[in-house]
Structure 1
Amino acid sequence: MNTDYATEPNPRPPLEGDQSPDTVATEPAPHAPGTAPHRHIKADLAIIGAGSAGLSAAAGAAMLGLNVVLFEEGEMGGDCLNTGCVPSKALISAAKYAQAARDSEAHGIKSGAPRTDWAGVQAHIRKAIDTIAPVDSQERFEDLGVTVIREHAHFSDRNTLASPTARVTAKRIILATGSKAAIPPIPGLAMVPYLTNETLFDIPELPSHLIILGGGPIGMEMAQAFRRLGSDVTVIEMGKVLARADRAHAEIAAQAMADEGVSLLENHKAVSVSESGGQISVDTERGDGERKSVTGSHLLVATGRQAITDGLALEAGDVETDKQGILVNEKLRSVSNKNVWVLGDAAGMGQFTHLAGWHASVFVRRAFFKQRTKATSLPLPAVTYTSPEVAQVGLMEAEARERFGDSVSVSSFAFDENDRAIAEGKTKGECKLIIHKGKLLGASIVGEGAGDIIQIAGYAMSNDMKVQSLTNFISPYPTRAEVVKRAASAHFTDSVFGKTARTLVSLLQRIP
């Protein structure tokens, strides 16, 4: 996980009342024989959750010399390291090697059909996790000066968290509890052995037929990966797959997956689930009443995620909630208890590791440097790691037109005109820029490496650069990232090469 954080240099001197580590005291309260003594700790910052947001905030505060206590009852690194981003991308990488073997003949290389060693794939996943784990480890954070308590914690009052062996009173409290898979109330689902991201990577054998409920990023990434590894795969989605992406770009990715053999059942609602003879069946119904039944060896539920708030005793902390979760403002503070901050998935503003890291940066900037940064201060990128990848930042075309009408213009450039893409034989996709009065409102890219390329547009938007700035640099040839410059240049084609420009050039040619 990335525990970097962005602040300004020259941190403020300690304010009166700032506590140093020597404020940690062990109460001489009686305790049961064989158990740890109960400690009462006074801290500058107490955090629940050692995922990306919690770790980044803890590192930032500790490096500024503050007294930090971090509670984590599960694995250090949270969902992303252990059951989310890292294992899923390691799996996708393994699947790409399998697909490369299938595609190699088109490049003049004969390698034969790939055979998946599932245990070997799992070893590759485990190695990726183990390599990153030290960065998120308890030892590293204790070396930074953080008091790490590997226990469940909850509020005992507005400023205090309690665990089985500790009671922490803090000036500021962060809830960075993350999210978990949301399980839909489908009849029969609770009676079958379904999978979520928390269990998917530990299954003992490669599924012969994996059924996936949900056609969002997680469902689509895992669908293509398991198909490439040799599983039959069916995705059941009650609407359109990748519904939050640019529609045209989502369809390019979906068609690529269908061409590889993934069965996509769009506009199909799962109405019941059952198991018989070790096989799982999902009955679906389409909007027009058509019914279909799908039977497979494994079922993955990927229908969204929900913030984890169980067992926090939020009422005791005067932290208000609604049906969606904890109520926070754009400053990431609880609307009812200003001493409480909510970061990452628990804030309900998006479920991305990079957003969690940004939330930690917002916290450090606001809490310690008194800056006015907000959770919404920068545009949020999102990437679905299928092949081709689907990446976006800012407003999509439909959103922009709804907000600004016909004054929105769109400029595109296709990968089948990009020389690097042609040389590699991976020409599916395009770059699309959404523009309003010279300002870049958003961008969407579908294609190989889209997640890396979208950062050019994100950088320009984050720094209030005009679209013209995307034409004013030298892009190395041949690279895929040239599509951004070419799409931006296309926006100015008429003004640079149109009738007015030709007239001007004709007049200028008369000057000796």
Structure 2
Amino acid sequence: MERIKVDVCVIGAGSGGLSVAAGAVQMGASVVLLEGHKMGGDCLNFGCVPSKALLHAGRAGMGWADAHGHVRQTIATIEPHDSVERFEGLGVRVISEYGAFVSPSEVQAGDHIITARRFVIATGSSPFVPPIPGLDTVPYETNETIFDLAEQPKHLLIIGGGPIGMEMAEAHRALGCDVTVIEGQKALGKDDPELAQMVLDAQRARGIAIEEEAMAQEIRGTAGMIEVEAQDGRVFKGSHLLMAVGRKANTNRLVLDKAGIEPTRTGIKVDAGLRTTNRKVYAIGDVAGGLQFTHVAGYQAGVIIRSMLFGLPSKAKTTHLPWATYTAPELAQVGMTEAEATAVHGDRVEVIRFDFAGNDRAIATGQTEGRVKAMVVKGKPVGVSIAGPGAGELINLWALVLANGMKMSQVAAMVAPYPTMGEINKRVAGAYFTPRLFDNPKVKRIVGLVQRFLP
């Protein structure tokens, strides 16, 4: 048994773990990185990267085999950046084993016992498969297997109408499959309902069946002939089944009780600085039980590096963290939705809308189906929702605005090149100030007085 003593031991080589390992070692800390599965984690191998590649392939008109070849090539192109070789080149000791706590200050990985000043749990999450009666007798896919399907489904049933379910629905429909999405509540239910409806309407127009309020109560059949029965008696038939109902934190291998780390229903209990109940141990990314996005894990890595390496106070915030669903149109959010802002700020919230149809670039390129909603309180946006082409790009400006507490006046002061889709964001700010400047009798009186006395 080899004993290793380092400054930082990172458990999990997904987005968050890799960011911590790279940052810490390049700032002078000694680092051990443990990964028992694939470097790059879920995002590279089973999530963000392959799903966006498959969506692109479908929109580009590729056939089934070419589309999956494109997925594999995309992963292979990105892999070196997340590889063992790259991180060992940076000076990280990489051990290709799962880690488990054996004491509050020690982790075992294979034949290694690691003692560290600080540990970082970044083990991510896995597909959650609910115990629906009959599911254990029927073949099904998750995001960890769907990209390896050799045969094209004739009719894909997807249980779950969240971002994963809706993206996979669109991708497979574009590749020639019939698709039915079965959602127990409302599809895209975590996003603004008004803008989510724009996305759902577009998906239905593509021929995707979206069945809401359809809680699955029984699954039956065999490969190629699968039936899902909802609680209200509706029955949906298809050839293949994809489970996309959510994620569960990967904590089962960690033996948290040996380290005095308290779990929660959604992962691991952490404080505002992402420390667990063991002060030597941090948890970031999906396993910390918050927003489950790659970029959130990367952000949290920066938060704990400040604390671990420099001993400085550092807290993770969530109000400025954006997310996007890469359907067509895309759906993006940062900060509060209209309902959330109203619940917190009441009638002080002003909701500003601007449609893509008012943008010249959108008109010129036929991309007019879209809308921005900004929730503003006393001149500051507290949330922005966007549905439309490139919504995931347009939300970046608003993420900057919310992260820095900027005002609508600062957005209005921005000069955007003409004609660009980015002008839409400036026009949102313009829509906020229009009634204040052009429909304001006081402003008109002031202008009238000034004009009387100007030489």
Residue of structure 1 aligned with 2:77, choices 131, 147, 158: 131
Q: Distance in 2 between matches of 1:268 and 1:133?
A: 39
1:212 aligns with 2:175: no
1:503 aligns with 2:445: yes
Q: Distance in 2 between matches of 1:147 and 1:219?
A: 37
1:266 aligns with 2:207: no
Which digits, 9 at most, give the CA deviation of each residue in 1:441-460, with x for residues without a partner? 01011000000001111111
Q: Compute the displacement of 1:285 (Å).
A: 2.6
Bigger drift between 448-457 and 310-319 goes to 310-319
Q: TM-score, normalised by structure 2?
A: 0.98
Specify the alignment match of 1:108 in structure 2.
none
Q: Compute the displacement of 1:379 (Å).
A: 1.0
Residue of structure 2 aligned with 1:184, choices 117, 130, 142: 130
Specify the alignment match of 1:326 in structure 2.
268
Q: TM-score, normalised by structure 1?
A: 0.87
Q: Secondary structure at the match of 2:77?
A: helix
Q: Percent identity?
A: 47
Residue of structure 2 aligned with 1:396, choices 329, 332, 337: 337
Rg comparison, structure with higher value: 1
Q: Secondary structure at the match of 1:41?
A: strand
Q: Compute the displacement of 1:39 (Å).
A: 1.1
Q: Distance in 2 between matches of 1:402 and 1:424?
A: 38
Specify the alignment match of 2:140 in structure 1.
194
Q: Secondary structure at the match of 1:316?
A: helix
Identify if the C-alpha distance between structure 1 residues 330 and 277 changes in structure 2 by more than 3 Å, giving closer, same or farther.
Answer: closer
- Equivalent residue runs for 1:119-158 within 5 Å: 119-158=65-104
Q: Which amino acid aligns with 2:183?
A: E
Count matched residues.
453
Residue of structure 1 aligned with 2:316, choices 332, 350, 375: 375
1:442 aligns with 2:442: no
1:67 aligns with 2:30: yes
**Structure 2: unaligned runs, 5 residues or longer:** none
Which digits, 9 at most, give the CA deviation of each residue in 1:136-194, with x for residues without a partner? 00000001110000011100100100122101000101110000001111100111110
Q: Distance in 2 between matches of 1:142 and 1:350?
A: 30
Q: Secondary structure at the match of 1:379?
A: coil
Q: Secondary structure at the match of 2:5?
A: strand
Specify the alignment match of 1:15 in structure 2.
none
Q: Compute the displacement of 1:323 (Å).
A: 2.5
Asked if structure 1 preserves the Cα contact closer than 8 Å seen for 2:319 and 2:336, the reply is no
Q: Which amino acid aligns with 1:61?
A: A
Which digits, 9 at most, give the CA deviation of each residue in 1:113-157, with x for residues without a partner? xxx521111110111101110010000000111000001110010
Which digits, 9 at most, give the CA deviation of each residue in 1:37-57, with x for residues without a partner? x21000101111000000000
Specify the alignment match of 2:296 in structure 1.
355
Q: Distance in 2 between matches of 1:399 and 1:376?
A: 17
Moved over 3 A (4+): none
Specify the alignment match of 2:307 in structure 1.
366
Specify the alignment match of 2:410 in structure 1.
469
Q: Which amino acid aligns with 2:93?
A: T
**Structure 1: unaligned runs, 5 residues or longer:** 1-37, 99-115
Residue of structure 2 aligned with 1:294, choices 206, 215, 236: 236
Asked if structure 1 preserves the Cα contact closer than 8 Å seen for 2:223 and 2:239, the reply is no
Q: Distance in 2 between matches of 1:473 and 1:157?
A: 54
1:280 aligns with 2:222: no
Which digits, 9 at most, give the CA deviation of each residue in 1:201-248, with x for residues without a partner? 000012111000000000001101111111000000011111110110
Q: Distance in 2 between matches of 1:305 and 1:147?
A: 30
Asked if structure 1 preserves the Cα contact closer than 8 Å seen for 2:139 and 2:222, the reply is no
